[in-house]
Copies of this chain bind each other. A is one copy, B any other.
Amino acid sequence: MSETTLDVVGIGNAVVDVLAQAEDSFLVRHDLAKGAMTLVDERASEKLYSGMGSAVEISGGSAANTMAGIASLGGNGAFIGKVKNDQLGEIFSHDITSVGVRYTTARATDGASTARCLIFVTPDAQRTMQTFLGASVALGPDDLDEAAIRDAQITYLEGYLWTSDSGRMALRKAAEIAKAAGRKVAFTLSDAFLVDAYRADFFEFIRDSVDILFANEIEITSLIEANNFDDALQISRDLCEILALTRSEHGSVIVSGNDTYIIDAAPVLDVVDTTGAGDLYAAGFLFGLTQGLGLHTCGRIGSIGAGEIVSHFGARPEVRLADMIASELD
C-alpha cells in the first residue's frame, strides 16, 4: 500500500444551510418533526421559506461539514458532492475550498438549483431541518474522483445520499474503489428516517463494505431493531470493525471488537445551535484515526469538535480546531 497524501475523502450532499431562529409553536403550526431532517421538494421549500424569519446562509451538508472540520484540525481532505453553477453553488464551492478542502466535482449546468436546507433553531438549541436536495441528487458514479478515493486513508460516505438511485450507486462504487485500494470505508447513518426506509439495504451495505460506522442512539437502535441502546450496542458489536455511537450531551460510546470506550461530551458553556454536532464528531474521530491515535483519543477529539460547533450558529468551525486539540495530542 503506497503512502497516502489524503487523509479522508468525504462524499455527500452539497448544501447551503439557511438558518433562522424559530419558536416551538412555528414547528407545530407547520407540522415539522422537531430534531429531524425531512426532505421536501422545491415548492414546499419555497413555501416554508416564505414563512421563515430573517435568516443567515452558511455552507452546510453533513459530509461537507465533516471535511471542513478535518481541514480545521489540520487534516488533508477532499469532498465530492454536486452543486449547480448558481450563486448558492458559488458560495458552497468558495467556503469548502477556502478552508483547504480539495473540491473539484463538476457543477451542474442545468436542472434544479443548488441544494438548500432550511434549519429552524428553537430556543432549546435543537435544530429541525427541511432539505430541498436540488442539484445534489444529480451526483452519480461518474462524478467520483477515483484517484482521490484510492489515495485517501478513509473514504467517508454520507447516508443521506442513499435516497437517490444515482447517489446510492455512487456510494457503492466509492466503497468498492476504496476497498480495492486497501483503504478504509466509513459510513454515517445520517438520520433515523433513512434507517427506517432502508434498514435491510443499510445492514447489508455495512456488513459488506463498511469498516467504521457512525450512528446516534436512535439510529443504531432502529437499525438493529433492538429494544434499547444497550441491547443495540451489544448486538451491533460484530457489525463492523469500529462503531462510533453518539449520544448528544451524554457523549459517545466507541465499540471495537470486545473493547468499549465511554467518552464524555466536551463541556459547553452555552449551547446555541446543535446543527452539525454529529458531523464534527465524525471529523474529530476520523482525523484521530488517520493520525494513528487510540480510539479513546479519537472519541475525545470528536467531542471537542462537536462542542465547538454547538457553541455557535452554523455547522462549520469558527475557530481553528487544531488549536483546541493540541493538548490531546501530547
Contacts and interface: CB of A to CB of B under 8 A. Distances in A.
A316 interface: yes
Contact of A95 (B55, B87, B314): B55
A211 interface: no
Interface stretch (A46-54, A259-267, A287-295): A46-54
Interface in A78-123: 86-88, 91, 94-96, 98-99, 113
Copy number in this complex?
2
How large, as a class, is the contact surface on chain A? 20 to 34
Contacts of A314: 56
A231 B221 CA distance: 73
27 contacts: A21-B318, A49-B94, A50-B94, A52-B94, A52-B98, A53-B98, A53-B99, A54-B59, A54-B68, A54-B94, A54-B95, A54-B96, A54-B98, A55-B91, A55-B94, A55-B95, A55-B98, A56-B57, A56-B58, A56-B314, A57-B57, A57-B91, A86-B86, A86-B87, A87-B87, A87-B88, A87-B113
Interface of A: 21, 49-50, 52-59, 68, 86-88, 91, 94-96, 98-99, 113, 314, 316, 318
